[in-house]
Chain A
Amino acid sequence: MMSTQDIIDTLAGIEPGSALDAVRARRLQARENAQKSYLSLFEPIDAGDVSLLERAAVAAFVTGLHGESPVATFYREKLAASAGGAALLGAIDAEIARGKTSGPYGSYPAGPLSVENTAGLIYRVSAASKPALGARLAAALEHAHLLVFRPRDAAAADMKALLDAGWSATGIVTFSQLVAFLSFQVRVVSGLRTLAAVNA
């Protein structure tokens, strides 16, 4: 399972034998399990509840929303290389452009925190992209945008929207892990790249 090159090292540009390689080696379990998380999500033993194409499309969208980076490029290329993925690239690119904003924002439960409520884009997939994406993926992109930019707005009704669009409970768990994991991975890569650049 560990035969694939470490994806965080690759995307962060960490060379074997470098100072940061040595630092990461002191958290070997974290390094290996971040990699296993990636493999479990993108090379799963059972893709029955979330297809490989759906995983690649959501990943390209989520990392694209974070802006241009080696991570976004990696997942865009992964989508392009997926069966059926090339046909989705145009729609995903268009939706990234429509969905880009700054976060986190959103609302708290009514009370003392209400003064911190911050309004922002409530993203919905465009009518033009829906035929290419289909109902399941359109619902997934809308939910992914919620998780990327305004996770504190998430509500029970959002689970219902996914179930109504054909997502199973297990599929929702995998999909939520996918978006959440990518939120982690893109930040670790960004942080380590910054540290490596400062040290260069």
Chain B
Amino acid sequence: MSATVNPPVAFTQDELGWVSWIDPLPEAELTERHYAGLVDRSRAKSEYFRLLVRDPEVLEARTKTDKDIFYNVVDGLPRAERELAAAATSRYNGCIYCASVHARFASTYSKRRDDVQRLLDEGVKADLGERWNAVVKASVALASTPIAFGPANIAELRRAGLDDAEIVDVINGASFFNWANRLMLSLGEPSK
């Protein structure tokens, strides 16, 4: 839609923009039903969310699912590794935009920026140490179609020290990005 799109051609931790291919709702047309769907009112400024809010009920439920999977840290997997699952899934599916956001978060929470960058540069086979390798491998197995996740992935996650609640966080985080990637990739494109 926009003439100013400058698509990135490589995976990056830089901040990217995103431009919709179909019309978002104009901010002036948003009703209370739409604001409920946006969850955070400030999201009315985002082209992506004003597009998704065309179906406000689905957007609201999706956003709340996302927030709990990634931000509810009362227990379970550390934030860094939930973000790693999201970044690895995005790298494997090929979503440059989602990978940029969640690689950045993984770096922030883990302080392992160089390892995260190797995931982006070398791909999901990059050697990131036993625990991260197990998370990346499980995420990739889940993202494959047909789904390749099996008992060997669970054994590997356990050897790396994850308990069942943490394994469920890997499953949820990686699975969720198969949702997110398909929206970002199919409704518009990233811009530098």
A and B: bona fide binding partners: yes
Where chain B touches its partner, the secondary structure class is helix
Partner of B69 from the list A27, A41, A183 (CB cut-off 8 Å) is A27
User: Measuring CB to CB, which residues of chain B are less than 8 angstroms from any residue of chain A?
Assistant: 1, 7-11, 21-23, 51-52, 54-55, 57-62, 64-65, 67-69, 72, 74-76, 92-96, 123, 142-147, 149-151, 153-155, 164-165, 167-168, 171-172, 174-176, 178-183, 185-187, 189
Partner of B9 from the list A45, A111, A148 (CB cut-off 8 Å) is A111
Residues of chain B within 8 A (CB-CB) of A109 are 7-9
User: Measuring CB to CB, which residues of chain A are less than 8 angstroms from any residue of chain B?
Assistant: 19-20, 23-24, 26-30, 32-34, 36-37, 40-41, 44-45, 65-67, 102-104, 106, 108-113, 116, 143, 146-149, 151-152, 154, 156, 158-159, 163, 169-170, 172-174, 176-177, 179-181, 183-188, 190-192, 194-195, 197-199
Residues of chain A within 8 A (CB-CB) of B147 are 66-67, 186-187, 190
What is the CA–CA distance of A188 and B148 in the complex, to the nearest angstrom?
Answer: 13
Q: Is the CB of B58 within 8 A of A188?
A: no
Residues of chain A within 8 A (CB-CB) of B145 are 65-66, 102-104, 148-149
Where chain A touches its partner, the secondary structure class is helix
Output the nearest chain A residue to B189 by Cβ-Cβ distance.
Answer: A156
Q: Is the CB of A176 within 8 A of B182?
A: yes
Q: Is the CB of A27 within 8 A of B182?
A: no
Q: Is the CB of B21 within 8 A of A111?
A: no
Output the nearest chain B residue to A107 by Cβ-Cβ distance.
Answer: B94
